[in-house]
Amino acid sequence: MLLRFSDPIWQRPRTATAFQSLFPAGQCVDVVIVGGGILGLSTALHAARLGLAVQVLEAGEIGNGASGLNGGQVIPGLKYDPDWLLEHFGLERGEALVNFAASTADTVFELIRDERLAVPFVRNGWIQAAHTETALKAAANRDRQWRARGADVRLLSRTEIATMTGAQGYLGGWLDRRAGVIDPLAYTSELARVAAAAGVKIAERQNVMQISKNAGIWHVSTESGAELKTKAIVLATNAYTGGLLPGLAETIVPLHSFQIATAPLSSNLAAAILPEGQAVSDSRRILVYYRKSADGRLVFGGRGRMALPNGPADWAHLERALLRLYPALSDIAIEKRWFGRVAMTPDHLPHIHEPEKGLLAVVGCQGRGIGLMTALGERIASYLSSGDTRQLPFPISPIRPIPFHAFRQIGVAATIGWYRMLDAFER
């Protein structure tokens, strides 16, 4: 696991337990889910509620992947706005996709409420902050499309955004009130707890090394010697995908997202910075995102280097971006630094693959995975139970490795450098 120099602030509930529950080797279960992040656990919970016998196998501990390391911003929608989705997917699938995308944050907050998950949250919206006239126009366009669909969204003036964020330099922005913030590690741990209570067997420290099929039954083997038989497998390994299914890892570009957390803000600073508790992402090409945590820190994130970090200096670019927006924080200590992997696909959409009957793989969270992967898990579970592809918001697509994948990381690093320079000119 990539946890060197990674020290997140997020907390598991005090009652969280370890999971080491396996079906007996001789029993053929309905579904084995590889990966105990939000996608794997949401799929598991809903599949168990639909009556399936489900085993989750997680290589590390629950929440070690992106699900326990992320920024905790629960944002509905996809990278694309409704008009684009209708144009590209056609009226029927496009409309279904827009409705699905609109519902993803609701799915998370309803789960927290209905399952009484012990997850600290604030649901007061997400601000997309514009630093150029072009970004303002894009925000107005987005606002028009979502408002036409009755979404609780609105544009923010320069004065309003300054008051709501306390940050310097924004021309205006867009507020999406459907969004909110959670503690992502608490959420992932709690998903595991309710999934286990629904009958799912979850085993941590079970790194799946091999999957194979014999006479219509799948066989799953782990590094520590567990052997399972199953009718279906779901690979929910996302940005941490390895070589289990040839070609799958080459369909995504895993990027590192880095975060820092300040010491708890004084009451004066807390009153001036995000006083209503919204989440923010800005409009830069290499964007930064931030929010306050339940214990009153400012949590600030953005793209990081592709190599593993060596020490605090590898987070220095975030500290500079933080001070550009909040010069008043020049004396505050940075108490935590951590990072995780995000899986990007070339078309910026999640991909669902089913290369063989009974073998599903889902990759490509694009940095909005809390809502997206929670909601997608519910749909994958319905598909597993019914076999009805209409349950799936995205079409099943063939595994198409990205050409020259090995060189892609170098290309990404060069592009990030170029974008950083363009962003600097627009300051």
Ligand X SMILES: Cc1cc2nc3c(=O)[nH]c(=O)nc-3n(C[C@H](O)[C@H](O)[C@H](O)COP(=O)(O)OP(=O)(O)OC[C@H]3O[C@@H](n4cnc5c(N)ncnc54)[C@H](O)[C@@H]3O)c2cc1C
- Which residues of this chain interact with ligand X, rule CB under 6 A? 34-40, 57-60, 64-67, 69-73, 75, 207-208, 236-240, 242, 244, 257, 259, 301, 339-342, 365, 367-371, 373
**Which residue's Cβ lies closest to ligand X?**
369
Q: Are 23 and 202 in contact (CB under 8 A)?
A: no
Helix or strand holding residue 232 (H, E): strand 227-235
CA–CA separation, 400 and 74 (whole Å) = 29
Residue carrying structure tokens 């889910």? 33
Q: How far is the CB of 419 from ligand X (least distance, A)?
A: 18
| Nearest to ligand X of 85, 287 (CB atom) | 287
For residue 18, count CB atoms less than 10 angstroms from its CB and return exposed for 0-12, middle for 13-18, buried for 19 or more.
Answer: exposed
Q: Are 144 and 412 in contact (CB under 8 A)?
A: no
| Nearest to ligand X of 136, 342 (CB atom) | 342
Q: How far is the CB of 331 from ligand X (least distance, A)?
A: 26
Q: How far is the CB of 153 from ligand X (least distance, A)?
A: 17
Q: How far is the CB of 24 from ligand X (least distance, A)?
A: 20
Instruction: Identify the DSSP state of 48.
Output: H
CA–CA separation, 64 and 73 (whole Å) = 18
Q: How far is the CB of 243 from ligand X (least distance, A)?
A: 9
| Nearest to ligand X of 187, 326 (CB atom) | 187
| Nearest to ligand X of 38, 86 (CB atom) | 38
Q: How far is the CB of 111 from ligand X (least distance, A)?
A: 14
Which residues have CB under 8 Å from 381's CB, separation 6+?
A: 42, 43, 44, 45, 46, 47, 49, 50, 52
Residue carrying structure tokens 């979850």? 202
Q: How far is the CB of 241 from ligand X (least distance, A)?
A: 7
For residue 267, count CB atoms less than 10 angstroms from its CB and return exposed for 0-12, middle for 13-18, buried for 19 or more.
Answer: exposed
Cα radius of gyration rounded to whole Å, the chain: 21
| Nearest to ligand X of 6, 145 (CB atom) | 6
| Nearest to ligand X of 82, 301 (CB atom) | 301
| Nearest to ligand X of 86, 344 (CB atom) | 344
